[in-house]
Each structure stands twice: as C-alpha cells, then as structure tokens.
Chain A
Amino acid sequence: MSDLAIEATDVWKSYKLGDTKVDALRGLSLQLKYGELAALVGASGSGKSTLLNLLGALDKPDRGSIAINNRQVEAMSDEELGQLRNRKIGFIFQAFHLIPVLKTRENVALPLQLFDELSSKDRKMRVESALEKVGLLDFADSMPTRLSGGQRQRVAIARALVTEPDLILADEPTANLDSKTAHAIIDLLEELNSKQKASFLISSHDEKLIGRVKRVLRIQDGTIV
C-alpha cells in the first residue's frame, strides 16, 4: 500500500459548452501524500473545480486513472462512490451548502446519519469535537441563518471533519469571505492539518493566502505546471 492519499495519472476530462467541446483537464497527473496540505492555484477556468470534483469522486474522468486511498475511482459503482465520499472524503464548498432548517450541530452531524455503527452518544461526541476544533461549540444550537459568513464556513469545515476522513477537499473556501475571515479560515485549515492525519487540498486563486502554504500546485490549461 502506497503512502499516497491521491494519485491521479494522465487524467483527461472534457465537457460540452453549447456546441463547443471544452477540454478542462488535459493529461493531468498529481500525487498527494497522507497528511499533506497543498494549495491548488489557477486562474478562473483553469480546471481547478473540475479536478476537485474528480478527486472528490463526484465525477469520473474521460481517460486516465484516479486512485483515492489506493482505490481506483473509475472502477467504482455509484454506491461505492457514495460510500467513498461519505467515509473517506470531506468536502468544504465555496458556498458552504448548509441546510437552513437544521441547527449547526445537525448540519455537522449530517454525514454521520449514514454511520449506523455509531451510537447517539458517539455521534454527539464527534459533532461536539468537530465544533470545538473550529471554535463553534457555543453556536451548536444556532441556526445557520444566525451565523456570519466565516462562522458558516467553519460549520462546513466541521461537517467535513466529523467523519474523520483521509482527504479533505476545499473548493475556494475563502472566496465568499472578507480578507480577515479568509485568513482565519486558512489558519484553521493549517492548524487542523497539523493536528489531523488527513490530507488537505485547497483550491484558491488568492495569491496572498497561497503564499502561506508549503506545497502549491499550479494548474493552467488543464495540466499542473
């Protein structure tokens, strides 16, 4: 078993934009070790989101191979992909994607609904631990609409952490936040990376923030440069 959380080899992905075929990824290869934190940087339309969607098992490549946790994504059924996303991957979305009718703790607990083996007590402990890590334990019973943008993103991060995944993918997690809050979120992600065993891949086009990350993967025209 290799020490790679992600291994993407010669990945191609295209999609249609009207009548035009757009090659979003062109033979991209990438490796990310367990516990590593890397930033994925590129201009708008460079293929960052397409790559994150493939690495997050939300989509399949047209060509090439992607292994997450040493398992080939392209060979998996929809059910297996769902299990992989639920157990091994944590997502942090640019738009937070919190369910407005659920309290903070319920939003964080959302992926744990599929963890039948966990008791209610264990779930509660995991949720509170995740909220404590992101500094929102006091807001556990708040509704998302009562939270600021930065707090909402912290809830989304707690939701990504709560399943204790091997890989956390963050798609422009600071894009909707002001500069101060964005820095705080990156600090938090760095801190979590140092404490957790999980690998982090954060996409961003904010050069200032990227400057703080040790490994930067630059993507241009569908390949890593």
Chain B
Amino acid sequence: MKRFFWLLRLASLNLLRNSKRNLITGIALASSFSGILLFTGYVVWVEKYLRANTVFVNQSGHLLISRPNGLEDQLTKPRTALLKKDEQEKIEAMLKGDADVLAVGKGLQSMMMIIKDCRSRGVIAIGRDEGIDRLSLGQPDVLKWDYELLKPEQIPVLAKFRQVSPKEAAVFPSPILQKFIDRKTSSKQAGCEESANGSLQLLGRTTTGEVAATDGRALGTQSTGLAILDERVIYMPVKDLQTFIETDSVGYYTVYVKSLLALPSVWKRLHEDVKASGLDLQIQPFFSENVGLYYIGSVGFLGTIAAFFVLLVSSVVGLSLFSLFSMSVTERSMEIGLLAALGFPAKIVIWLFEIEAVLLCLLSLGTGLLVAIGLGDLIFKQNIRFSPPGIAGDTHFTIAWEPWVMVVIGLTFLLVSYVSIRIVTVLKLKRSALSLLQDAGTL
C-alpha cells in the first residue's frame, strides 16, 4: 500500500510535468466523455419516456395477458378473442396475493366510428382502466418522464360527468381527433346542425355483431404520446366501452410489477400458473413487438447507435492515448532505464505508467461527467420544445441519467486507456535497462 501511494504521487507529479499535453489530452477525453454521456442521456430519456408511455400512459402494463393474437383479434373477432368472465376470474386468482405485483388492470379495444354532426371518422377505441389511471398518476416514472401526457384533472371530471350523464359514454380523444370534433360544420350542408360542444355519437358493433350506437361526450383530450396512434385513437373508460359493445368480457389483462427486477420472476410464475390452469393465454412483456412495437423499435435502434458511438469514440480515445503515452514513454526512456537499473521490477514500472493513465482518465472522466450534468441541467432549464420522430406533438427536450449506463461508458473509456498504456509500456520494457538508459530522453 505504501508503494502504491508512492507510485500515485510520482504519477501525479509526472502528469504535472507534461501539463500542457496532458491538459489537452484531458480536455479531449472529457469532451468525448461528456458528448457520449449527453447522447446516451438522450437515448436513456427516450427509453424512460417510451417505457412509462407504453406501460402506464397506454396501459399495456409490464406484462399483458391475452389470448394468443388476442390483442389484434379483439378488433376483428371479438367473439373469440375476448376473455370471458370465468377466464377473468381464473386470471385474477392467479395474480392475487403476488407480493411483486403492484396492480392488475383490464383493457379492451374496439373499432368504431365517431360522428360529429355530418362528419364521421373511423377510430380505435381503447378502454382505459380508471384504477390504473389513478395508480399511474402516483408513479415516479410517469411523473418524471411522461408528466405532459397524463392529466390528473380528468379523473374528477369523469366522476362528476357520471353523476349527471349516466347514459352518455365518456370519451377522451387524442388532440388530433379533438380538432376533428371541434371543427365547425358548414351551415350550407342540408340537415347538418351544429351540436353542442363536445357532444358526439359513437357507432360500432356489439360482440354479437349487432349495430351499437350511443351518444358520447368528449371530456378532455388524452394523447397516446405517439404520432401514429394519435391519428386514430380515442380513449374511453373500459366500463363504458364494455357497455357500448354489450359485453362483460375484456380484451386483455395488464400486470404492473413493483420493480422491474421482479419482472422475470413474475413472468415465469404467471407462465407456470397459466400452463397449470389449462387456459390458452399468451403473456407478453412491454418490450415485445406486439405490445411495445414503438418502444422496442426506437430503443433498439437508438441503443445500437449509442453503442456504436461509444465504441467508436472510445476507440479514437484509445488510439489518442496510445499515441500520447507512446510519446511520453519514449521521452522518458532514460527514466524507465534508471528505474530498471536501480532494480525496479518491470511490473512496478508498468504500474507507474498505468496509474498515470488511469489518473488522467479518471480526472478527465470526472470533469466530463460534471460538464455533461451541467449541460443536461442547462438544456432542461431552457425548456426547449422539439418533435422527436414518431412522438405526437412536441415535447420537452430532456437528458436523463442512468447511473449504470454512465458507469459502463466510464469503464469502457478506462479500460481502453488502461489497455493502451499497458501495450505501450510492455513493448517498451521488452528492451533492456541498458538500451533504455542509452536512449535519448528528457531526463
């Protein structure tokens, strides 16, 4: 330990000795690191935003239980695709008492037309579980990353609406569909009288194929957060949708776990229980293509790019450090020779240079980290609005920090630095102490 501190001191002094060159290298390292952190911070934000969006805002849950292909078939073959009452009871019994499960929700989807005065539009109605909405409003991930998407004021509005208008269906269209509803009707069109604000009619089919129609009222907008869905989605309370299509069945169950770490075990237990029960069910996580296509597509794509950039930049950093330390070690050939002549084993000399490289790298990484966090904070405070591809409307440009991602990137940089200096010094120390002593140097 005493020798380590001695080497640490000597390494620190040597770093100061070539202060200009080391400063420039340090700045290059720090700026590369902070650049990579900011980029991966954006990718991390996308992941967190889309995860909270998929799991809570769009109520797909961490796990989604349906019949095989039930998620798609419920729109076209509701009679066979929906989960009947007895099946619902069995599923609820399986999940009851599971300590890792935070909540269980129900979902249902149906195709319908919304009619406003003389205009109509085909939409997918997604039945929302009100309990999950209330739960979502208390979820840290939702509050932190998707706070612009959930609207807590809609819960009391819905409750009040139920008391005064029990025969109307409550509807929460996306902002795009709300514009369709709000559009003024041309008075020249025969028979088209303008109806009251927010009132509309819903036209669809029951699960038995009968025509279903009812009055509805738009109580507020609810975005899916995704551009492709906002074009054609309205949300309704799942009970209202069940009443409309005249069923007590649901399309799927959603399971919310207390911690993502518990997800694999809950998934496994559920799979075993379903198998034991003999039910023909499919359990899909939020990151499967059927459930979270946009999540898995975007995160997979951006994650691959981020990993590529991390490797690219760390390789460039490694080569730069290799070049820097090659020069530094060559300049100090006589010093290395002296240490060898005084009997220092090669490993101690290698340690000295490794400690120098690691020290320079750690100082640079620390600086890069502070710069990245400062810039991330500054970017957040600027309240920059932007429209990322696929996201509905615009959103607040945010950089998110994930400690393990930062640690992995930092360790990659550190490993590259370590390997660079190791190669340089080991190659140098293949020469004899005598030839090193006779080498031209700076001593």
B 1-42 contacts with A by CB, 8 A: 2-3, 6, 10, 13-14, 16-17
Residue of A whose beta carbon sits closest to that of B442: A100
A82 touches B340 (CB 8 A): yes
Q: How far is the CA of A114 from the CA of B433 in the complex (A)?
A: 17
B 130-155 contacts with A by CB, 8 A: none
Asked whether any CB of chain B lies closer than 8 Å to the CB of A30, the reply is no
Classify chain A's interface size: 20 to 34
Tell me which residues across on chain B come within 8 A of A91, comparing CB atoms. Answer: 341-342
A110 touches B341 (CB 8 A): no
Asked whether any CB of chain B lies closer than 8 Å to the CB of A183, the reply is no
B443 touches A99 (CB 8 A): yes
Closest Cβ of chain B to A142, distance in Å, is 15
Indicate whether A95 sits within 8 Å of B16 (C-beta atoms), given known contacts A59-B434, A79-B345.
no
Asked whether any CB of chain B lies closer than 8 Å to the CB of A65, the reply is no
Indicate whether A97 sits within 8 Å of B432 (C-beta atoms), given known contacts A58-B341, A87-B343, A102-B10.
no
Question: What 1/0 flags go to A103-120 for Cβ under 8 Å of B?
Answer: 000000011011010001
Classify chain B's interface size: 20 to 34
Asked whether any CB of chain A lies closer than 8 Å to the CB of B334, the reply is yes
Tell me which residues across on chain B come within 8 A of A120, comparing CB atoms. Answer: 2
Asked whether any CB of chain A lies closer than 8 Å to the CB of B117, the reply is no
Identify B343's interface contact among A82, A95, A116, CB under 8 A.
A82
Tell me which residues across on chain B come within 8 A of A53, comparing CB atoms. Answer: 434
Question: What 1/0 flags go to B319-352 for Cβ under 8 Å of A?
Answer: 0000000000000001100111111110000000
Residue of B whose beta carbon sits closest to that of A60: B432
Interchain Cβ contacts within 8 Å, total number: 59
Question: What 1/0 flags go to B390-410 for Cβ under 8 Å of A?
Answer: 000000000000000000000
Identify B341's interface contact among A85, A98, A100, CB under 8 A.
A85
Asked whether any CB of chain A lies closer than 8 Å to the CB of B437, the reply is yes
A 92-149 contacts with B by CB, 8 A: 93, 95, 97-102, 110-111, 113-114, 116, 120
A82 touches B443 (CB 8 A): no
Asked whether any CB of chain B lies closer than 8 Å to the CB of A83, the reply is yes
Identify A98's interface contact among B16, B339, B345, B443, CB under 8 A.
B443
Indicate whether A58 sits within 8 Å of B433 (C-beta atoms), given known contacts A97-B443, A99-B443.
yes
Identify A101's interface contact among B3, B13, B339, B345, CB under 8 A.
B13
Question: What 1/0 flags go to B428-443 for Cβ under 8 Å of A?
Answer: 0000111001000001
Closest Cβ of chain A to B428, distance in Å, is 15
Identify B342's interface contact among A86, A100, A102, CB under 8 A.
A86
Tell me which residues across on chain B come within 8 A of A86, comparing CB atoms. Answer: 342-344
B342 touches A111 (CB 8 A): yes
A99 touches B434 (CB 8 A): no
B343 touches A58 (CB 8 A): no
Residue of A whose beta carbon sits closest to that of B332: A99
Asked whether any CB of chain B lies closer than 8 Å to the CB of A222, the reply is no
A59 touches B432 (CB 8 A): yes
A97 touches B338 (CB 8 A): yes
Tell me which residues across on chain A come within 8 A of B339, comparing CB atoms. Answer: 110
Tell me which residues across on chain A come within 8 A of B2, comparing CB atoms. Answer: 120
Tell me which residues across on chain B come within 8 A of A85, comparing CB atoms. Answer: 341-343
Q: How far is the CA of A58 from the CA of B431 in the complex (A)?
A: 12
B14 touches A101 (CB 8 A): yes
Identify A99's interface contact among B6, B338, B343, B433, CB under 8 A.
B338
Tell me which residues across on chain A come within 8 A of B3, comparing CB atoms. Answer: 113, 116
Tell me which residues across on chain B come within 8 A of A58, comparing CB atoms. Answer: 341, 432-434, 437
Asked whether any CB of chain B lies closer than 8 Å to the CB of A150, the reply is no
Residue of A whose beta carbon sits closest to that of B345: A82
Tell me which residues across on chain A come within 8 A of B14, comparing CB atoms. Answer: 101
Q: State the 10 A-B residue pairs at the shortest beta-carbon distance, nearest first.
A: A86-B343, A101-B13, A85-B343, A82-B343, A58-B434, A111-B342, A97-B338, A59-B434, A101-B17, A58-B433
A interface residues, Cβ below 8 angstroms from B: 53, 56, 58-59, 79, 82-87, 91, 93, 95, 97-102, 110-111, 113-114, 116, 120
Besides the contacts A58-B434, A114-B343, what 16 more A-B pairs have beta carbons closer than 8 Å? A56-B341, A82-B343, A83-B343, A86-B342, A86-B343, A87-B343, A91-B341, A91-B342, A95-B443, A97-B334, A97-B437, A99-B10, A101-B13, A102-B10, A113-B344, A114-B342
B interface residues, Cβ below 8 angstroms from A: 2-3, 6, 10, 13-14, 16-17, 334-335, 338-345, 432-434, 437, 443
